[in-house]
Chain A
Amino acid sequence: MTQSSATELPGAVPASCDAAAEADQPPSVARRRVLKGALTAAGLVLCLRHSGRIALAGTQKYGAAGEPGGVVDNPLVFVAIHPDNTITVTVHRPEMGQGIRTSFALVVADELEAEWPQVRVEQAPADQARYGNQDTDGSRSMRHFFEPMRRVGAAARMMLESAAAARWGVPVSEVVAEHQQVWHHGSGRKLTYGELAVQAAREPVPEADRVRLKRPDQFRYIGKSSSRLIDGADIVAGRARYGIDTRLEGMLYAVVARPAVLGGKLAHYDAQAALAVPGVVRVVEIPSHPLPALSYPLGGVAVLARNTWAAIKGREALKIRWDEGPNGHFDSQRFETVLQQAARRPAKVVRNQGDAMATLRDAGRRIEAEYYLPFLAHASMEPPAATARIVDGHCEVWAPVQDPQGTRDLVTGLLGLNESDVTVHVTLLGGAFGRKSLADFAGEAAMLTKAMGGTPVKVTWTREDDIRHDYYQAVALEHLEAVAGPDGLPVAWLHRSASPTEDATFQAGAEGEDSSEYGMGMINIPFRIPNVRLEVPGVPAYTRIGWFRSVYNIAHGFAIQSFIDELAHAAGRDPLEYQLALIGAPRRIDPRRLSDEWNYGESPQRYPFDTGRLRAVIERAAREAGWGRSLGKGRGLGLAATYSFMSYAAAVIEVEVGAGGKIDIPRVDIAFDCGPQVNPDRVRAQLEGSCIMGLTLARYGEITFRDGRVQQSNFNDFPVLRLPESPQDIRIHLQPAGFEVPLGGVGEPGLPPIAPALANAIFAATGRRIRRLPLATQLADWRA
């Protein structure tokens, strides 16, 4: 990557990369690295060198403080109280179905003593300096901002109390805020928040350590499930506005023909027929950026029209010849062999205790298995879409993006503007699941409005565009070997995980999982095994690798939890009893003792691996599911448990396999420990959704490549679970926890145990071991 490559983009300017600031980052902050890469090609390598791989002792910041923008807890930024006594809470993290607009608002409202029906929400634009970190991934929103949002609400409440005390000329100790009014004990006088708003805003903001928070037993909304969904009424009436719904005066509608092969470039195009389509206004070339892909637009040819349909028809009429570039040979079927070979050879060791290799060499009872998981597309129901315009040199973007500041930085760089000349309005996201962390589609809209002299342009991706130009969940081949001791428990464990790294999207030639990637459920196995060796082969990426809900935990969780089930059966032991024996007694393990330096960016003291909590969710799920009950032929129960994003999840799935491999799932029991639940109903919703998404990828999800091209295109050949295939009964069992327990993540950690629980259930039902996903037609020859 050279600086000159960046200049091929209109107005792309190198920006400085603050290496000193980067040095404070936890190691391998791959999931937040986007904006640096997008800012400047020249700076990227420098940034990676400082932030990507090197753990720096002493200066490490954890949690929210370790994220770009950190934490802001100033009530003046987040709370507006209006004279009519309504309250607006500004939510700075994007809403993609996790319920954060509702949940942040209820946290603020609770500490503020606001009346929930009076609370409205406003979505913050991209401005990390003002709002703190906005990059919504890693199941971090509530984990990082519960306490700050409490302080926001409580500080605002104290300011209202001070204002009332001043108005009445009484000591502040004699007044109390309750139910959106401030009362004076002695006189019974009261003022509404609306009446105090102007004066309260002039009161000094209390320091964070002076803010009086409620006791948890005083919470009215936090921890309850009674708060209405803030966008619910708009959604059911068709009023909710997603990115794709943006409409501006005089707007043009664009669709883009992009190179089918990553790294491909436009060789020649003929727009004559496209321009003849009624409604088509212009055809515009978007330059391709050299690899690595970053979050830049892929380039290609855009058709701009008076409506979406004309743009689609116009694109169909384009005649284009592409130069395919270096990835035209990529074939995912052949690549499986590459992964297999890599996983069968010694590779980079990332954790080593005892002497696993010697034990494996000498032992009699060696068990070996390989698991394969394909590429996956996110397929959020709202395909990528974005709208942009430029007025008087100021670019405004409306887009459904998980990383608002990253989008702003991308547009700033692409258009050669100052940050202050770019506004990114964050719309509702019609699903995202990691795809909308990288806003190449918003970059397209910005480049097109610039090409059109500032005329508003909405870019809409068709489903085919979405499936074929995703940032894919990485393919993985997981190789495991173990030697069982006399009791059947392993005395040696070897795991090689061969999977392209997401880093390759940002750094040409990056190979193999990085510390945050093998940090997701591979390196930190807490099992009582004396000899453990974990290795990560370097394998290349030939497509854009991205983040998919729970990311590398999917492959690691599937392989490890399937393998343990295999070991249990080989030992003739019950899988539940076996897994509990493998975990051993409850203990709190410093993740660094498991060679896990990443720990999701969290403090190892605050967030140790608590095997007692893991045991507890396993025992709860098993108990609730009636583990051990006798089932008829073709039916079985499967168990799997994972720890990810600081939360513990266990699933027991009951499956019935019918003739021809027909899968029926009467019941799923999920036990979950994320510490205290701020909005329990939304926690349940996320777990239900994780279950459905986990079943989708277990049964159907697969993206394949031939000649560098994605072979799937729409829901006909990339099917997702439909309602009739949904489990009849999903039971969510939330582990109780007090608010002194640090919060865990919610959006992602429910997903990893689902696929292995299903595979283990299928084994219990049929004796068939599923070692590759998706299940698809693997059981087609099964006779009930």
Chain B
Amino acid sequence: MASTLRINERSISVEAAADTPLLWVLRDELGLTGAKFGCGMGLCGACTVHVEGQPVRTCVTPLAAVQGKAITTIEGAGHDPIGRAVQAAWLALGVPQCGYCQAGQIMSAVALLRDTPQPTDADIDAAMAGNICRCGTYPRIRAAIHRAAQQLREAR
């Protein structure tokens, strides 16, 4: 089945079965390998992208469900100020270890800051609970989200 997707502000046509999870369309068909495979069941968040600004787990989101919707992947995260602030905070605090889960972490963090510009620790806990990091970068993720929030506040 031919589908047209809007990914990172570009229109892209792909040929794939309608039930194919968006993750494999991104990775295998389009070469956008920033979204990662971690569990295939929506349990770990490594595959997180934004659909219409909301974080979704692409490993359990069929292609048919995102037709015509605006999709932002980690490759497009730097296109907006919140994404750039989160990436900068991640680098400033040296968040990544192996880095594999960090695309998903960043996409979840960006979605949080878009809805909640000054999140509390409880807000962060709630927004980030679905993203697993096996290296254990959680303390730095928490600190980096606060830092990004502060930078965005100061920039306003």
Residue ranges of A at the interface with B (Cβ–Cβ < 8 Å): 95-99, 228-229, 231-233, 235-242, 244-245, 247, 253, 278-279, 307-309, 312, 379-383, 428-433, 460, 462-463, 681-682, 685-686, 688-693, 714-716, 720-724, 726-730
> Are A236 and B133 in touch, CB under 8 angstroms?
no
Whether A382 lies near B36 (C-beta < 8 A) is yes
**Assembled-state Cα–Cα distance A127/B14 (Å):** 40
Interface status of B78 (Cβ within 8 A of chain A)? yes
**What residues of chain B lie closer than 8 Å to A309, measured between beta carbons?**
16-17, 20-21, 24, 28
Would you give the shortest CB distance from B36 to chain A, in whole angstroms?
7
Question: A722–B125 Cα gap in the complex (Å)?
Answer: 9
In the complex, which residues 89-145 of chain B have their Cβ closer than 8 Å to any Cβ of chain A?
Answer: 90-91, 94, 96-103, 106, 121, 124-126, 128-142
* Residues of chain A with a CB closer than 8 A to B102's CB: 235-236
Known: A236-B102, A237-B75, A715-B43. A245 touches B33 (CB 8 A): yes
Kindly supply a per-residue 1/0 record for chain B positions 1-25, scoring 1 wherever the CB is within 8 Å of any chain A CB and 0 otherwise: 0000000000000001100110010
Q: Does B35 contact A (CB under 8 A)?
A: yes
- Of residues 54 through 91 on chain B, the ones whose CB sits less than 8 Å from some CB of chain A are 73-75, 77-78, 86-87, 90-91
B52 at the binding interface (Cβ < 8 Å): no
Q: A247-B31, A247-B33, A278-B17 are in contact. Are A722 and B132 (CB under 8 A)?
A: yes
Q: Specify which chain B residues have a CB less than 8 angstroms from the CB of A239 in the assembled complex.
A: 34, 75
Is A431's CB under 8 angstroms from B135's CB?
A: yes
In the bound complex, residues from chain B placing their C-beta under 8 Å from that of A97 are: 96-99, 135
Chain B residues whose C-beta falls within 8 Å of the C-beta of A433 in the assembled complex: 134
Q: Which residues of B contact A (CB under 8 A)?
A: 16-17, 20-21, 24, 27-29, 31-41, 43-44, 46, 73-75, 77-78, 86-87, 90-91, 94, 96-103, 106, 121, 124-126, 128-142
Interfacial chain B residues near A686, Cβ < 8 Å = 97
User: Nearest chain-A residue to B133 (Cβ)?
Assistant: A381
* A406 CB, min distance to chain B CBs, angstroms: 20
In the bound complex, CA of A643 to CA of B137 (Å): 24
Measured between C-beta atoms, what is the minimum distance from A412 to chain B in Å?
28
Chain A's closest residue to B141 (CB) is A723
Q: Do B138 and A723 touch (CB < 8 A)?
A: yes
CB<8 Å pairs between A and B, sample of 15: A228-B91, A229-B91, A235-B99, A235-B102, A236-B86, A236-B102, A238-B35, A238-B73, A253-B28, A309-B16, A381-B46, A432-B98, A685-B137, A715-B44, A723-B131
Q: Are B28 and A236 in contact (CB under 8 A)?
A: no
Bound CA–CA A729/B37 (angstroms): 30
Which 8 A-B pairs give the minimum distances between C-beta atoms?
A238-B34, A692-B136, A430-B100, A97-B98, A238-B74, A97-B97, A689-B136, A235-B99
How far in angstroms is the closest Cβ of chain A from B113? 15
CA distance A238 to B75 in the complex (A): 6
Q: Contacts A235-B96, A245-B33, A247-B31 given; 4 further ones with Cβ under 8 A?
A: A98-B97, A229-B94, A688-B139, A722-B130
Q: In the complex the two chains form, what is the Cα distance from A247 to B26 in whole Å?
A: 13
Contact of B98 among A228, A312, A430, A728 (CB under 8 A): A430
Interchain nearest-CB distance for A377 vs B (Å): 11
Bound state CA distance, A242 and B28, in angstroms? 14
Shortest Cβ distance from A729 into B: residue: B139
Task: Kindly list chain B residues whose C-beta atoms are within 8 Å of the C-beta of A685.
Answer: 94, 97, 137, 140
Q: Which of B74, B90, B100, B130 contacts A382 (CB 8 A)?
A: B100
Q: Which of chain B's residues have a CB closer than 8 A to the CB of A308?
A: 24, 27-28, 37
Question: If the complex has contacts A379-B134, A720-B132, are A238 and B96 also in contact, measured as CB distance less than 8 A?
Answer: no
Contact B46 A237, beta carbon cutoff 8 Å: no
* Cβ-defined contact, A460 with B37, below 8 A: yes
Q: Is the CB of B129 within 8 A of A722?
A: yes
Roughly how many angstroms separate A638 CA and B43 CA in the complex, as a whole number? Answer: 32
Q: Quick check: A381 and B33 within 8 Å, CB to CB? A: no
Nearest-CB residue, chain A, relative to B88: A236
With A96-B98, A688-B137 as known contacts, state yes or no: A463 contacts B38, CB within 8 Å. yes
Check if B100 sits within 8 Å of A689, measured CB to CB. no
- State in angstroms the CA–CA spacing of A429 and B99 once bound together: 9
Q: Is the CB of B24 within 8 A of A720?
A: no
CA distance A96 to B135 in the complex (A): 9
Residues of B close to A241: CB separation below 8 A:
33
By a CB distance below 8 angstroms, the chain B residues around A723 are 124-125, 128-129, 131, 133, 138, 141-142
How many Å lie between the Cα of A222 and that of B138 in the bound state?
26
Nearest CB to that of A689 among chain B residues?
A: B136
Q: What is the minimal beta-carbon distance from B39 to any residue of chain A, in angstroms?
A: 5
Distance from A555 Cβ to chain B, minimum over Cβ atoms (Å): 20
Distance, CA A722 to CA B94, complexed state (A): 19
Q: Which of A689, A716, A724 contacts B135 (CB 8 A)?
A: A689
Bound CA span A463–B40, Å: 7
- Chain B residues whose C-beta falls within 8 Å of the C-beta of A99 in the assembled complex: 97
Q: Given the known inter-chain contacts A714-B39, A724-B129, please indicate yes or no for A381 contacting B101, CB distance below 8 A.
A: yes
Complex CA–CA separation, A247 to B30 (angstroms) = 11
Residues of chain A within 8 A (CB-CB) of B21 are 309
Write the nearest CB–CB distance from A229 to chain B, whole angstroms.
6
- A715–B39 contact, CB under 8 A? yes
A420 to chain B, nearest CB (A): 31
Most buried by B among A96, A379, A430, A723: A723
In whole Å, how far is B40's beta carbon from the nearest beta carbon of chain A? 6
Q: How far, in Å, is B47 (CB) from chain A's closest CB?
A: 11
